[in-house]
């Protein structure tokens, strides 16, 4: 074999190996998401340092582990589950508009082909939620993406107003173009730098579970640090105590941030809002003019919670805009019955 041939075969096998690696970890295949790899490594290292120091210095904890192994086992299980949830959320798709459009248009094309041969109607891939019942409607006839999306806006709306100039797609309500991902995201919430991905309709639930787990882990770790300091701190300042106090102080700051984030996202879930809609409410055309206390996409706390946690609809599910009648009904003052039936927001 010549040197050129050897190099070519090596390059080919390297290319195949890197392709395989990219398939296994989607964050590496996307150039926009590669810089977040350093942050991911830093986050894992931080977790290991905080928990590792606890076991390294805390002899009481080790003796407690011998007496009550289940206590440490549950703590370590939570630690592992938090990291798994982090990577699970980070690798998940937020639901890109372009993918939804392809799915709908492919379905439309297949249906048209089938109707030409057998004269039978196909079905719509993308589920559309009914704002009144909250149920997912599956269309009996396949329709193209443009028609499907434009039907969700008030009659007479221009396609141009809702077209993304970057992706060249028509955006359904609640979606937004993310400049970090360079794609339009369905039910866009925010772009998370720590996770290296957008949070949207497809992964908001996973994100909520991740911050819930991270907050619980942080509270438990703080308790373990305080227990150590209570039992071991002496008047003579030891270097071990100084490190533990420093770590506890930084952990407490993280805990405050996580608790606020967890409460904020719980509020968003209960009212069926996104961070983007809440922050930029006055700049979003279809939310302009709606009173502040009215949550246009809310179907009541219980239904919102059910849809968020249990509804197993497609990640490409999109909601139409509420009709003027629905908005008027939501603008009325609450009655005792509304509060009792959890329909007050």
**Binding of Zn ion at residue 178 (CB under 5 A)?**
yes
Nearer Cβ to Zn ion (57/276): 276
One residue of 101, 125, 184, 217 binding Zn ion per CB under 5 A? 184
Q: What is d(CA 180, CA 188) in angstroms, rounded to the nearest whole number? A: 13
Smallest distance, Å, CB 202 to Zn ion?
12
**Binding of Zn ion at residue 181 (CB under 5 A)?**
yes
Q: What is d(CA 345, CA 301) in angstroms, rounded to the nearest whole number? A: 7
Residue 180, class by beta-carbon neighbours within 10 Å (0-12 exposed, 13-18 middle, 19+ buried)? middle
**Binding of Zn ion at residue 338 (CB under 5 A)?**
no
For the question of residue 192 being annotated catalytic, the response is yes
Smallest distance, Å, CB 167 to Zn ion?
3
Smallest distance, Å, CB 12 to Zn ion?
33
The distance of Cα 276 from the centroid of its chain, to the nearest Å, equals 13
Nearer Cβ to Zn ion (172/320): 172
One residue of 60, 99, 180, 338 binding Zn ion per CB under 5 A? 180
Q: What is d(CA 292, CA 302) in angstroms, rounded to the nearest whole number? A: 21
- Interface stretch with Zn ion, choices 70-78, 104-112, 182-190, 230-238 (CB under 5 A): 182-190
Catalytic residue among 27, 178, 181, 192: 192
Rounded alpha-carbon distances, angstroms, from residue 133 to 129, 203, 205: 8, 23, 21
Smallest distance, Å, CB 168 to Zn ion?
8
One residue of 108, 190, 191, 204 binding Zn ion per CB under 5 A? 191
Q: What is d(CA 303, CA 258) in angstroms, rounded to the nearest whole number? A: 26
Rounded alpha-carbon distances, angstroms, from residue 62 to 54, 57, 59, 68: 10, 9, 5, 10
Residue 291, class by beta-carbon neighbours within 10 Å (0-12 exposed, 13-18 middle, 19+ buried)? exposed
Angle at 168 between CA 167 and CA 169, to 5 degrees: 90
Nearer Cβ to Zn ion (182/328): 182
Nearer Cβ to Zn ion (93/307): 93
Nearest to 274 by CA among 203, 325, 209: 203
Smallest distance, Å, CB 27 to Zn ion?
12
Nearer Cβ to Zn ion (57/188): 188
Smallest distance, Å, CB 46 to Zn ion?
23
- Interface stretch with Zn ion, choices 154-162, 184-192, 283-291, 326-334 (CB under 5 A): 184-192
**Binding of Zn ion at residue 98 (CB under 5 A)?**
no
Q: Tokens 């011998």 belong to which residue? A: 66
- Interface stretch with Zn ion, choices 48-56, 77-85, 183-191, 307-315 (CB under 5 A): 183-191
Nearer Cβ to Zn ion (59/280): 280
Helix pair 204-232, 59-67: axis angle to 10 deg = 110
Number of residues that bind Zn ion (CB under 5 A): 10
Residues within window 118-177 making contact with Zn ion, judged by CB under 5 A = 164, 166-167, 177
Sign of the alpha-carbon dihedral angle for 155, 160, 161, 163: positive
Q: What is d(CA 264, CA 183) in angstroms, rounded to the nearest whole number? A: 25
Q: What residues contact residue 288 under an 8 Å CB cut-off, 6+ apart?
A: 282
**Binding of Zn ion at residue 198 (CB under 5 A)?**
yes
Nearer Cβ to Zn ion (191/330): 191
**Binding of Zn ion at residue 192 (CB under 5 A)?**
no
Name residue 199's beta-bridge partners. 190
- Interface stretch with Zn ion, choices 47-55, 121-129, 179-187, 232-240 (CB under 5 A): 179-187
Q: What is d(CA 216, CA 79) in angstroms, rounded to the nearest whole number? A: 10
Using CB under 5 A as the criterion, which residues of the chain lie in contact with Zn ion when the complex forms? 164, 166-167, 177-178, 180-181, 184, 191, 198
Catalytically active residues are: 192
């Amino acid at each position: 074999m010549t040197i050129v041939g050897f190099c070519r075969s090596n390059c080919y096998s390297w290319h195949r190996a890197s392709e395989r690696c990219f398939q296994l970890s989607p964050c590496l295949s996307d150039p926009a998401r590669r810089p977040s790899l350093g942050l991911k490594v830093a986050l894992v290292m931080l977790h290991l340092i905080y928990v590792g120091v606890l076991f390294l210095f805390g002899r009481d904890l080790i003796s407690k582990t011998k007496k009550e192994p289940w206590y440490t086992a549950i703590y370590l299980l939570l630690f592992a589950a938090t990291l798994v949830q982090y990577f699970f959320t980070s690798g998940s798709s937020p639901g890109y508009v372009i993918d939804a459009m392809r799915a709908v248009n492919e379905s439309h094309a297949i249906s048209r082909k089938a109707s030409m041969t057998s004269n039978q109607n196909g079905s719509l891939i993308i589920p559309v939620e009914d704002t009144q019942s909250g149920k997912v409607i599956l269309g009996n006839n396949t329709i193209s993406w443009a028609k499907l999306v434009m039907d969700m806006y008030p009659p007479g709306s221009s396609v141009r107003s809702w077209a993304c100039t970057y992706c060249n797609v028509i955006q359904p309500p609640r979606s937004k173009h993310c400049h970090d991902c360079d794609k339009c995201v369905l039910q866009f919430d925010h772009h998370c730098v720590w996770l290296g991905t957008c949070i949207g309709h497809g992964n908001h639930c996973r994100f909520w579970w991740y911050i819930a787990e991270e907050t619980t882990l942080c509270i438990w770790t703080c308790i373990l640090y305080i227990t150590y300091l209570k039992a071991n701190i002496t008047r003579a300042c030891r270097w071990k105590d100084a490190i533990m106090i420093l770590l506890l102080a930084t952990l407490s700051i993280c805990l405050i941030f996580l608790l606020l984030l967890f409460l904020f996202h719980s509020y968003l879930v209960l009212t069926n809002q996104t961070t983007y809609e809440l922050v930029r409410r006055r700049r979003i055309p279809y939310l302009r003019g709606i009173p502040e206390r009215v949550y246009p996409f809310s179907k009541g706390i219980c239904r919102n919670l059910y849809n968020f946690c249990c509804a197993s609809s497609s990640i490409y599910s999109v909601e139409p805009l509420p009709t003027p009648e629905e908005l008027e009904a939501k603008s009325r003052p609450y009655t005792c019955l509304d509060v009792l039936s959890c329909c007050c927001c």
